[in-house]
Amino acid sequence: ITLSVTNFLGKESDKAAEFRIQKLTSETPLPTVRISTPSSTTIGAGVTLSASVDTSSVCPGEKGEYQWSCVSNDCPLLTEVGEEYQSSVAKDLTPSDLVGRVVPGSEYEFQLSARMRGPNGTISDSAVEVRQSIRFDGDRIVAGFTRDSPSGDISRSGTETLKFQATGLDPSDPSNSVQSLRFSFKCERPDGISPCFK
């Protein structure tokens, strides 16, 4: 709709005012959503799939309904068949959901479908869909010596065998169910002149 003004001298306004009205195909319009999920995470940290909803796109008495899915080929996540729409826009993927399923370095694309439910139970005819890719990195492995390992000063003339015990933790695979950890030992003298042992 445009509006122009003419005064009694016949002079018209330089610029016509415009007002736009959109006729909706459904009585229940779609919400405006923006994904706020990070583009990368570590397997041991998990990730929360989330989005922000523009409140101006939600009419009084209406409620948003949301559904997350993984649309990448061979994606091992969110594989539940016929998962229903939920009232919460957030969905947690915990480390237990990822360990053993996701290979470090994998990248998957997730889709959020959002629709509206009116006060009388009317559901919008379609759903708005937005997508976000997430890369799952492996966690840093933590290594250390156990208390059974030798410590302190060792006698130069000592003949006993030094036996070191190591431990490690991979947050991407805490139970070592995917692949067992392998350990290697290396000894270096601070002066760098001679080897550790002769």
Task: Mention every residue, 6+ apart, whose C-beta is less than 8 A from residue 94.
Answer: 46
Task: Mention every residue, 6+ apart, whose C-beta is less than 8 A from residue 19.
Answer: 1, 2, 3
Nearest residue to 196 via CA among 167, 160, 166, 154 = 154
- In tens digits, the chain (198 residues) has pLDDT values of 788 888 887 888 776 677 665 555 555 566 788 899 999 999 989 999 999 887 666 677 788 889 999 999 999 998 775 568 888 999 999 988 998 889 889 999 999 998 888 778 778 777 889 999 999 998 888 898 888 888 777 777 777 788 888 888 888 877 777 778 888 888 877 777 777 765
